[in-house]
Amino acid sequence: MSAAPPNEDAVPNPASISASISAPPTTLPAVVPPSQAAALLLSRIGIGLLALLVLIALVMTLVLWQKVNGMQEQLARQSADALAQSLEARTLARQAADTVRDVGGRVALTETRVAEVALQRVQLEELMQSLSRSRDENLVVDIDSTLRTALQQAQATGNVEPLLAALKASDLRITRAAQPRLAPLQRAMQRDIDRLRSGANSDGADALQKIDELLRGVDDMPPLNHVTAMRGTGASTWQGEAVPTDAPWWQRWLVSIGNEARSLVRVGRIERPEAVLQTPDQTFFLRENLKLKLLNARLALLSRQVDTARSELATVSAAINRYFDPASRRVQSAATLLQQLQLQVRTTEPVRIDETLAALATAAAGR
């Protein structure tokens, strides 16, 4: 039985086509119809295109899979980072909340302290106002007591330096107090200071200079028992017998001897024998005693003890007039200086600060 010829219009089976493609042909058909060859070619082209599409889809699937894996990994990393940042933000928020709570407590404490300080400030201002009302009065009373004590001391000792020091200290206290109400008191104190300084230094330098000059001239004043002074007395006015020029030598010689012999014996009246009969040692101690008296007078002038200075100068003047030669120019110059000193060192008025005391009374009365 022979095989039936294939139907040309029948569609070939794909399985048979693939089987025929995969299996090597054992025998070549003797004759392939053109329609079957075209169909076979088309089927092959479709299978190739299908395989190509499958390959492309497979490649795209692999690429997409890799992209999806990368995106998953990136999302995982971002999620981890976001979680870490969230934890950090939560920690920071907790710390900020603690800080805010602490700051709130401190602010409340600060407000409490500010309120306390404001209350203390109000109390302090009230206290300062009460003190400022009485500070001027206390200052005036203190200055008044200080100046009166210094005034009593100056009147008792004759030394105005403590009073000047007290006035300067009081002036400095008023300057530091910076109270305009006490400005008249300060001006009165300045006027008293100037007056006391002018009174203390008016003739002091000139008097001290004259005393120093007397001290330097004590050793040069000749006493009454000095030889040159004795030659200047009335007994030495006798000139002796005149020697004639035409007399012989022996007569002139005799006259000279007679004159010299007569000059050895003098007859005169001595008003102060104790001054003439002084020994050199007594004269030395007399000069030293005069120097001590002058130094005492100098110290008395420096310490404003006028009465003591006048007494010492009077003692020096009496000693110079009694024990030293009044005909000597040096003695006369010393006597003149002593007279000037006695006129210059006069008894001054008592130390007074009337303007300051009046200004203190006005300030104490509140006017």
Task: Indicate whether 300 and 214 sit together in one domain.
Answer: yes
Task: Indicate whether 209 and 189 sit together in one domain.
Answer: no
Determine contact, residues 113/336, Cβ cutoff 8 Å.
Answer: no
3-class secondary-structure state, position 324? strand
- Domain annotation covers residue 260: no
Task: Indicate whether 321 and 191 sit together in one domain.
Answer: no
What share of the chain has pLDDT > 90, as a percent? 3
Q: How many domains does the chain have?
A: 2
The pLDDT tens digits of the residues spanning 240-271 come to: 566 666 777 777 787 777 777 776 665 555 55
- Domain annotation covers residue 109: no
Determine contact, residues 305/209, Cβ cutoff 8 Å.
Answer: no
Pick left, alpha or beta for residue 240 (phi over 0 → left; psi -120 to 50 → alpha; otherwise beta).
Answer: left
Task: Indicate whether 171 and 226 sit together in one domain.
Answer: no
- Domain annotation covers residue 77: no
Higher-confidence position of 286 and 138: 286
- Domain annotation covers residue 115: no
Task: Indicate whether 165 and 224 sit together in one domain.
Answer: no
3-class secondary-structure state, position 223? strand
Region 45-52 average pLDDT: 88
- Domain annotation covers residue 277: yes
Which pLDDT belongs to residue 56? 92
Give the residue numbers spanning the domain of 208.
Answer: 204-236+273-344
- Domain annotation covers residue 244: no
Most confident range, picked from 21-25, 197-201, 222-226: 222-226
Residue 351 and residue 344: Cα distance in Å, rounded? 18
The two tokens of residue 329 are: 């120019």
Query: Is 345 exposed, middle or buried, given 0-12, 13-18 or 19+ CB atoms closer than 10 A?
Result: buried
Task: Indicate whether 214 and 334 sit together in one domain.
Answer: yes
Residue 206 and residue 204: Cα distance in Å, rounded? 6
pTM for the whole thing?
A: 0.40
